């Protein structure tokens, strides 16, 4: 049997905000922006969840349910920094680590029982290590595959540990609602419920051919997960697919100059993250949403770079050409993808941009220490 851990950082964005500002402890905190805006809840504390709040809820709905909550825009650069430190801690103990997202990690401890002893006790040790060094709470699920481990990590939040013994996977899953299975969203849940399928045991009780006939390949995968199966091997070559930022406006905007200013700031933030990871990008993309919700996306390949000026000019070129309607804009976003590690050897062969590269890295250091707004690169 494989031994897979899934570690999930509890209310991660809120936990980081509380480290930055301890006065937020034990209060209903919501990360996601202006409560009078059009955004959604990115994360909320357990105190806020008592009022019915949850991630992806419209921010205005959250404010209606919890008007006395503390609403924050958040500090994404700090979230990335803490996430990287957590990964650095885990790789000291786990032979294989896969970072699944900014706040969750899979670890393969197969064959490590003789080294670490009780898996439950070792999971507790990992929790305490992260808490001691970073004051971040976490929950851990242990199972024979990634699906079981992930579902288990949600069972005892916050600061919980759930170990699903080998052979007990189906019994563990049976009483849970179908939406517990990763990937089952509102639409699929509704369709399953309309067929009289409400619990995971209902899926497991039917033949796999039924689900493959109704949902194709995904149906077969759904049936396998309901029967306790899942991927047993980690993707150790995990690489972030993209970095993006977007802004939904309190009032729709018609001014191109205003849109350009907002795009400039969004681009600066993603470039900050790009350089913190020592990466370069060769793909820039934008998103534009009009007030009638029609959404346009555009992308362009470029030579690998981490320079704000190049990335912003590319993004603005894309956005400017995408604005073809005489109608107000509700949202814009910018993103980058197709990463490669920055080659420091460039300095030996290309000296015309050395000063600018060094300047950008100096700005990164200042922002990492004092916050993004401590310094601003001139408008380009």
pLDDT in tens, 331-374: 999 999 888 754 433 433 344 455 566 566 666 655 555 555 54
Q: How far is CA 164 from CA 118, 140, 158, 171, 367, in A?
A: 14, 11, 18, 10, 43
Three-state SS at 242: strand
Q: What is the mean pLDDT of residues 306-333?
A: 93
The set of residues, in sequence order, having a beta carbon less than 8 Å from that of 125 and lying 6+ positions away, is none
* 179-218 tens-digit pLDDT: 999 989 888 999 999 999 999 999 999 999 999 999 998 8
Q: For 242-372, which CATH class?
A: alpha beta
Identify any residues that bridge with 8 across adjacent strands, giving them in sequence order.
104, 139
58: pLDDT strictly greater than 50:
yes
Q: Which CATH architecture has domain 1-156?
A: 2-Layer Sandwich (3.30)
Comma-separated ranges of CATH 3.30.70.270 domains in the chain: 1-156
Query: What percent of the chain stands above pLDDT 90?
Result: 61
**How confident is the model at residue 187, as a pLDDT?**
87
Average pLDDT across the chain, whole number: 87
Q: What is the mean pLDDT of residues 74-95?
A: 89
106-115, 326-335, 363-372: range with lowest mean pLDDT: 363-372
* Cα–Cα dist 103/42, whole Å: 12
* Cα–Cα dist 81/20, whole Å: 13
Q: What is the mean pLDDT of residues 264-273?
A: 91
Q: Which residues are catalytic?
A: 104
Q: What is the pTM of this model?
A: 0.67
* 13-34 tens-digit pLDDT: 999 999 999 999 999 999 987 8
Comma-separated ranges of CATH 3.30.1490.100 domains in the chain: 242-372
10 Å Cβ neighbour count for 191?
Answer: 14
Three-state SS at 360: helix
**How confident is the model at residue 347, as a pLDDT?**
36
Token pair belonging to 209: 């051919």
More confident residue, 168 or 354: 168
**How confident is the model at residue 235, as a pLDDT?**
75
Comma-separated ranges of CATH 1.10.150.20 domains in the chain: 170-226
Burial track 229-243 (b if 16+ CB lie within 10 A, e otherwise): bbebebeeeeeeeeb
Q: What is the mean pLDDT of residues 297-323?
A: 92
- Which CATH topology does 170-226 take? DNA polymerase; domain 1 (1.10.150)
């Amino acid at each position: 049997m494989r031994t897979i851990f899934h570690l999930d950082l509890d209310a991660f964005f809120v936990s980081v905000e509380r480290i930055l500002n301890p006065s937020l402890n034990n209060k209903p905190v919501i990360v996601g922006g202006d409560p009078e805006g059009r955004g959604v809840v990115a994360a909320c504390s357990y105190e806020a969840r008592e009022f019915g709040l949850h991630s992806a809820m419209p921010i205005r709905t959250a404010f209606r349910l919890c008007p006395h909550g503390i609403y924050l825009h958040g500090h994404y650069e700090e979230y990335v920094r803490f996430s990287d430190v957590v990964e650095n801690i885990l790789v000291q103990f786990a032979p294989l680590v896969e970072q699944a997202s900014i706040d969750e990690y899979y670890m393969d401890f197969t064959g490590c029982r003789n080294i670490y002893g009780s898996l439950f006790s070792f999971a507790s040790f990992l929790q305490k290590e992260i808490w001691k060094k970073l004051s971040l709470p976490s929950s851990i699920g242990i199972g024979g595959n990634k699906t079981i481990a992930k579902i288990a990590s949600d069972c005892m939040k916050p600061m919980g540990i759930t170990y699903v013994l080998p052979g007990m996977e189906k019994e563990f899953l049976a009483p849970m609602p179908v939406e517990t299975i990763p990937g089952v969203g509102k639409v699929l849940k509704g369709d399953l419920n309309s067929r009289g399928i409400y619990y995971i045991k209902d899926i497991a009780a039917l033949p796999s051919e039924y689900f493959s006939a109704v949902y194709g390949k995904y149906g077969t995968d759904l049936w396998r997960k309901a029967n306790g199966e899942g991927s047993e091997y980690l993707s150790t070559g995990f690489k972030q697919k993209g970095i993006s930022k977007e802004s939904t406006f309190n009032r729709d905007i018609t001014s191109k100059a205003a849109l350009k200013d907002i795009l400039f700031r969004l681009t600066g933030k993603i470039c900050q993250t790009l350089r913190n990871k020592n990466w370069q990008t060769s793909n820039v993309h934008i998103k534009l949403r009009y007030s009638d919700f029609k959404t346009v996306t555009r992308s362009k390949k470029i030579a690998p770079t981490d320079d704000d000026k190049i990335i912003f000019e590319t993004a603005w070129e894309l956005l400017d050409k995408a604005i073809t309607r005489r109608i107000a804009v509700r949202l814009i976003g910018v993103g980058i993808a197709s990463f490669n590690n920055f080659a420091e050897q460039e300095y030996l062969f290309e000296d015309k941009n050395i000063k600018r590269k060094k300047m950008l890295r100096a700005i990164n250091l200042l922002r990492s220490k004092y916050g993004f707004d401590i310094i601003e690169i001139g408008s380009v």
